[in-house]
Amino acid sequence: MKMKRHINKIVILAAIIVIPAVSFSQYCNHFHSSYCMPSENEMFKLNGQSKSALFSKGQTSELNIIVYKGQDYRVSLCMDENLGSQVKFKIYETKKVKVEKVIETKEMEEVMGPCGECNGEGTVDGEMCYECEGEGQISTGEEKEVISKETKIVVERQKSLLYDNSQDGFSNEIEFSVESTRRLTLEISIPGGGSGGASSKGMKKSKMMRSSDMGCIGVLVEHMTTPKSGFYGTGF
């Protein structure tokens, strides 16, 4: 009976821990549409790749989006105050590239030696050397590692850095035009956090995430058709 009460306490404690985290996550679902400031340019429209997520201090996460040729994009971030006032934001282009690689294969092979009969000449049948024609070999009972190499063309995803907001005063927004359809990776990092450590009594700090270490990040993506420049429709 005492054991049952103890189990019930554990279940209740787990529920107390889980409920705030779930509520926090649900609260973050539409954070970008509520707290990220849209562009003052009414030509920009909300892009369906916009997303929000629950972050903790010290966390880095990635969001993959596709941007299309002939479009202008605006990407802006918003965040809960308890995550701080600064966010690290990078944009990478992800491409599939063909790379030449040397593939190594390791195998174990038997070590062979010459037959003890026929002066090492002959063929092998099991452990016997017979028919003294050609060179016969027999297993020594030992093995050796044999490495074979083969050059292959493989396809890999590679990221190249296009933008780093640490080089732009840690700006939380960027606008750009797209000349060819691309797959981009938005990398977002929240400063802070830490590995914890041990207390003076040798007790490790709790790994439980405090609510003050957590908050929402919103990524608002907007797009519009790139305005044409120059003279058009002259009738000639």
Domain extents for the chain?
2-87+172-193+212-225, 102-150
pLDDT mean over 229-233:
62
Task: Report how far residue 60's alpha carbon sits from residue 88's, in angstroms, rounded to the nearest whole number.
Answer: 9
Task: Report residue 212's pLDDT band, with 50, 70 and 90 as the boundaries.
Answer: confident
Q: What is the pLDDT of residue 200?
A: 36
Distance CA 100, CA 156 (A): 10
The confidence score (pLDDT) of residue 223 equals: 97
Which amino acid is it at 133?
Answer: E
Q: What is the pTM of this model?
A: 0.62
What is the assigned CATH class of domain 2-87+172-193+212-225? mainly beta
88-114 and 71-79 as β-strands: parallel, antiparallel, unpaired? unpaired
Enter the tokens of residue 162: 């296009």
For residue 128, give every residue at least 6 positions away whose Cβ sits within 8 Å of its Cβ, in sequence order, or none: 117
